A and B are shown apart, each in its own frame.
Chain A
Amino acid sequence: MKRAAAALVAAVGRWVEERAGLGAAVTPALDHPVPRRTASWWYTFGSATLALFVLQIATGICLAFVYVPSADKAYESLLYLNYDAPFGWFLRAVHFWGSNAMVAVMTLHMIQVFLWGAHKYPREMTWVVGVFLFLCTLGMAFSGQLMRWDQDAYWGLGIGASIASRTPVVGQSVVQLILGGPIIAGRTLSRVFTAHVFLVPGILIALVGLHLWLVLRLGVNEWPMPGRLVDRETYKRRYEEEVHRDGVPFFPDAARKDMVACGVVILIVFACAAIFGPFGPHGVPDPTIIDTAPKPDFYFLALFALFALLPAWTETALLLFGPPLAIVLLLAVPFLAGTGEKSWTRRPVSVLGVILIVLTVTTLAGLGVVVPWSPVMSAWSGLATPVEYVRGRTPLQLQGALVFQNKQCRNCHALGGQGGRRGPALEGIATRQTRDQLIRQVLQGGGNMPAYGKNLSPAEVNALVAFMQTLRPPNVPPARTTTEPGAPTR
């Protein structure tokens, strides 16, 4: 019986193969020899990214069964997915965590191939296509975040439009092209939806195909050996010799680790999805609700931080030329260094470059989480004045402590470690500034502080400064000018 069934399966297989010839087409790709040492865990990030992409397609199609790409219904349809549709919350969660993982793993893949010198001759085009894949993936991440159609999405679009508006001459046209009209509304969401679901995925699928074709055609990058230089004359011949002398078939020898890596990455995404659940939507997209602090998803936090920290006069130039320049530089990498040493142990500039970029991006993203440059909008009304700053104070000083809270000083200045960090913390201000200096700073502002001259009565200024003069550690003398009696002499 068993034998008959096996024979039947084999016969059906032969019948299909005779007509479709799929086996004949795929077998060489599976069997193609790869250098033995490349059957390594380090070489699995690319496959893991592909697995995540497939996961995103599968979950994305499922979400599209329910999601309504209309400005008045999108938010509700997301709530329906979260709370009513069977497995809807889980699919949204997998799609969200999958997108995070895809950006992360793809970045690791990019760093790995760069450090292993895989962008060098003859794989320059593979790198170039990879850069476009990376950009498309970021585009998917951004448009996906906008399709959440909550407050973050609405104001995120506002930020995008504001950046676009800095384009000289045609700024307004570019803004309207992005928004699909003069304001952020239904037509904007339709555009974002079309980009996220049709345009960019189409480009991604085509580029993934090309990327894989190039990998098959040019072979997997050999493990770089220090001192073994890439030379256009000899490279291909030496590579062929190596894979024939000491190669293993891709399937199953190298594919084993790829399969494990793909499985592990998908399990991690599933675990995150099950534990943390779907992300958002946060707050209805009503532009008249302005008590909101928009923030992008993690992959754009570094950029978000940069906007706050760039000197204002450099901003337009950097916003307009920075991203294109970065893209051109990435694309140019294999043309600037297409031959020579592959091993990262002999490419100190490349290694330092990677470290520098990673440190810069993670530091900026970290700042983007803390947002020290933003006033803490509720600090003035929500935070208690620490007891040590009110105990034993005179009525005038206590009055000043009230002025300090009521005039929102706390939104930018911390006391006792709590409050805004836009301006300096004021615990020790009395040791740094004299009464006259404090009055001047409060009235005239300066150094990135608004002037309060018009908004404080003389009595309020008097009380406020009296309070601030008490802000010093015990046994540390207050700041004094050299003309005051008892001032330290130089």
Chain B
Amino acid sequence: MCPDHAPLSPPSPGRRGFLFKLGLALNVLGAALVGVPVLGFILAPMRRLGGQSWIRLGPVKDFPPGETRLATYENPGSAHWDGATAKTACWVRHVGNGQFQVFAVNCAHLGCPVRWFAQSRLFMCPCHGGVYYEDGTRASGPPPRGLFEYELQIRNGELYVRGGQLPTLAGPV
């Protein structure tokens, strides 16, 4: 008898079962190993990174008393490829005597940019008709609250606001 023709002894059921389970376990482990970084990567932006920081809006003298003016700033933590979308606009109101209010341009209803009308001293939203008074309180329309207002500081004659995220009902600036 040539050994080449010897019938192969069938693997024992125990060995087959073990190999199957081992294969299964290895694949589950592999899926888990791939899944952790994949999910972690996709879900990472959900974590609040504390991106809020103090941002310089400009010298106080650029905002005359009694007037409301549009100011713009570069978002902290923006990427090089953000282009114009790295910028954000806000409404600065100098009430008088160095008293300021800074509002997000985003309507509290659904985030469209509100416009200031100095003659009637109102902010009006183009999307669904929200209207706000000059102090940011809701005047009419669908918004559930007044305009989002930034925390602010005046240091060395410069106006600073705390910002860095899109103002919404869940995270008002």
Contacts and interface: CB of A to CB of B under 8 A. Distances in A.
A290 B70 contact: yes
A159 B139 contact: no
A73 B170 CA distance: 31
Given A291-B115, A308-B129, A180 B45 contact: yes
Contacts of B82: 71-72, 185-186
A452 to B, nearest CB: 7
Interface in B86-119: 86-89, 105-106, 109-115, 117, 119
B165 A183 contact: yes
Contact of B45 (A162, A187, A448): A187
B165 to A, nearest CB: 4
Interface residues of B, number: 57
A451 interface: yes
A158 B87 contact: no
B43 interface: yes
Interface in A153-191: 154-155, 158-159, 161-167, 171-177, 179-188
Contact of B168 (A161, A307, A310, A377): A161
A406 B120 CA distance: 8
Interface stretch (A139-147, A200-208, A279-287): A279-287
A377 B72 contact: no
B45 A179 contact: yes
Contacts of A182: 49, 51, 77, 164-166, 171
B128 A373 contact: yes
B64 to A, nearest CB: 18
Dominant secondary structure of chain A at its interface with chain B: loop
Interface in A390-408: 406-408
B165 A290 contact: no
Contacts of B159: none
Interface in B127-145: 127-129, 131, 133, 139-144
A213 B78 CA distance: 47
Contact of A422 (B43, B46, B47, B129): B129
Given A72-B83, A155-B112, A162 B124 contact: no
A285 B85 contact: yes
B81 A72 contact: yes
Contacts of B32: none
Contacts of A451: 139
Contacts of A285: 83-85
Dominant secondary structure of chain B at its interface with chain A: loop
Interface residues of A, number: 69
Interface in B19-37: none
Contact of B128 (A307, A448, A454): A307
Given A162-B169, A455-B120, A287 B89 contact: yes
B122 interface: yes
Contacts of B79: 71, 185-187
Residue from B45, B51, B122 with most neighbouring chain A CB atoms (10 Å): B45
B128 A183 contact: no
B15 interface: no
Contacts of A172: 48, 168, 170-171
A374 B141 CA distance: 9
B59 interface: no
Contact of A310 (B114, B142, B169): B142
B72 to A, nearest CB: 4
A287 B84 contact: yes
Contacts of B83: 70-73, 75, 186, 285
Contacts of A380: 117, 119
Nearest to A449: B140
A288 interface: yes
Contacts of B165: 182-183
A186 B80 CA distance: 9
7 contacts: A155-B112, A158-B166, A180-B45, A181-B45, A285-B85, A288-B72, A375-B129
Interface of A: 70-73, 75, 154-155, 158-159, 161-167, 171-177, 179-188, 284-288, 290-294, 304, 307-308, 310, 312, 315-316, 373-375, 377, 380, 406-409, 411, 422, 445, 448-452, 454-455
Q: In the A-B complex, list the 4 residue pairs whose CB atoms are closest, starting with the nearest.
A: A72-B83, A171-B170, A165-B168, A450-B139
Given A187-B45, A287-B113, A408-B120, 13 more contacts: A165-B170, A166-B170, A167-B170, A182-B165, A183-B78, A185-B79, A288-B70, A288-B88, A288-B89, A373-B141, A374-B126, A374-B127, A450-B122
